[in-house]
Structure 1
């Protein structure tokens, strides 16, 4: 070693003083010397510049992950070389020292060269050295004695290896420095092994962080147990769903938490996964309905634990609602009208929407009861919740209860083995629209009344009452008050539903809207068929206005669509109207021309009676079946001249 130290010192002096490069110098050192000369490094210098305290703290903070991983490995290396005169250095990717461990006497020597935390140790800063050369070449390097470009380092030996991230980028360097007389090839091997360990630990830690971030970011609750069903890990969502802290979950007995499932027999012993199990978590006297997956963790063909994932049933219901379209699409702005009464009804409906009261909407078929129900939902605080519409008349009598309130598994023959939520459960947090409520059987009316009273439902075959937050909007085309009098509808249910009443007028009562709606429907059809727009003729519009529309807006829409698709031209004329509308519109117009005001008819009757009775008021009153006093009032009202009647009983008064 001494011979090599003398040789390298002479070769260094020859290069520095004369520019001669000995061919026996190691290539990596020779190239570094040439770079240092090009950089203008002073071979008589070599004292590193040190960052200010604030900048050093900032750099350490930027590299705290690297330091936290590397420091224990540095301590482990130092434990093997303690007392031998070496110092272990961690450097960041820019060449700044960010962690130092070493013998006290070596540390004192290092201070003389500013070989301390915060010092910059690149080739440009202090010439050829293991740290700077390793960072520049991205290779492990050992530099001994005068191989250092600066004379102040000639008494040192240093071995360094770069540290990479998972993508192969240099993120730092590990170095081991000491007296040049203690240089040994094994030193570089130790450093290289240390750098490799840091890389692997860093990758492992980042992998754990990624797994933990994924574990905590998934939308399902997750609990992991060992083979003894001891909880080993749980995520934040599990804590949120169960209303427990993570520490509390680690202490809980999973068999008490999940009483409805025998995890030992169904999962651990069988080794089979179970998916979409509807069961309850029992937490602090609460029951939380969830959909659960339980998957065994298998090693060497043996179950060593279980991964349990779960979601609240109400979350599943929200997903189902979105998929099957349990959503209100109409708003009050979608209601087309010029009618003042209709505008008043809309304003009343808006005020009703802001409350949480039950609403009863009355009106004939086709007047827009569901449109109003959807608009009320979208105007309310429940707009983000589901809107579930149920037509009570369309449900088979034997299925009404199960459809509304759901059933538990095995509740009856043909029931799904997982059970089934009812429409009220699916509407939790939103609105349920019970259309044609008057068709609901009496026995179901009493159960609905109970739900209205206590806000809870019990599935068929179940014993547990589930609390719900549902707003009820009911609708009917019947006169429910008359149905109550006829004992066809429960009076107590009627009053519970009829907290706020909205009565929708027939289309014939809002005739100013007929033309408006007709143009609206045509515009909507033209929007779908932009290549062939069509318009309505004046005669067509007149026929629409002269029809009574027993099917209301729905019938009008159907008539417009029929005419639109039958007409091949650009102008839709009356010939494309359905025959019944065309015929009844003509009759309506003809009858209208023959109708006389009531007072005109009454005046003619009084005159004719007096003429027939030759001006005798008493006999005329008897003929009209009215009193003598009333007859005189009519004579005065219509200014009838009795004298003229008596003089000429055949005169016809005009």
Structure 2
């Protein structure tokens, strides 16, 4: 074996001094550290390499453990061999424990490796404690790129080789093993030009492994999303930032009688109507809003913004809940607004300006005063404001204060308990404020109300609660109050006939 060694380089004397005396002067740091580890492990520098080898079952088990990696290695081996067929080169991969699991290359180099090791290459070990200093041995020990040339190898029988090696990590930066390029010493200068190829090959393998893992996670996430999305008890619609439908769960498909594949990429307004605009989808909208679906009734809808990693809105999850039937007065009709802004006919600049102001006021949620002569459409505007507001899912209760005798106005507004006064209904009565809870109450001709009733209404507005006549407990209210007057209230305030 020794007579086959290549001609010695000047570094041979440096190696000899370390082997005989432990003198590591002029030795590259990474080689020096490896030599010291080999010396401490009692590796014989004069012996044949004679690698330790695992059995076939162990080899197969290790390959199967990372089958994706080995498929990628085979593909990259072919690419390197194709473009560098002119260079006698061996390429091999050893796992994190140092066992060579795959190898390819020029027969001349492979034969040289096999004769040096005196054993089969696949399954043999490149660990420092077994064959001394080599590029793959240092690479696995220090988890970094390494190059070892000629007499830098600790064991003399490998001085014929020049090798470079780089680690390969998984997507979590756990060491999988290392990739090695080996040539004979006479081709060492050419090997230097292959360093970028080695590094790029390893990086490419790592990227492909990471990509595959991320795709697997994405597939798993999609399965989780699909099952969670479809089997949620809520009615859910996912839309993009433009309002285009991305997905619907099963409840949404049933509620709106649509097929998810057919409705995807359609505008959300195609099923929720024109009120579901960009303002609603925006994160600036707080709380929920009610919509009357084009085919399936009234829904309370919450828009939940979805952000990308940069904090940009990229989608919205609409959570819809079917609203219960509106409250009905015994013998009466449901409390619902009957008019919308679309039904207000008028093209004059003044009318268009009033409508625009009313729309803005509707969205703010504050209480509203409508002034105008009798017959100018104050109630029509009250209906439209309710329909445009976030209270549209609740009842719309209207009361003409001028039509109610002053002695009955309080019982009409606040309601009363059983036996509250002589002549009261046997089971008591629900007042208009209570009937309007969750929606809008419209008090027309408010200027006709006496000061006593005005004072009590102000208390309701301030406290946001009402107590029935004869009742013990206050009832919390969540309502909007719209009042209307056909006279100038400022004049009545100046005369002390109306409380501001």
TM-score between the two structures when normalised by the length of structure 2: 0.48
Which protein has greater RCO, CA pairs closer than 8 Å, 6+ apart?
A: 2
Q: Which has the larger radius of gyration?
A: 1
TM-score (norm 1): 0.39
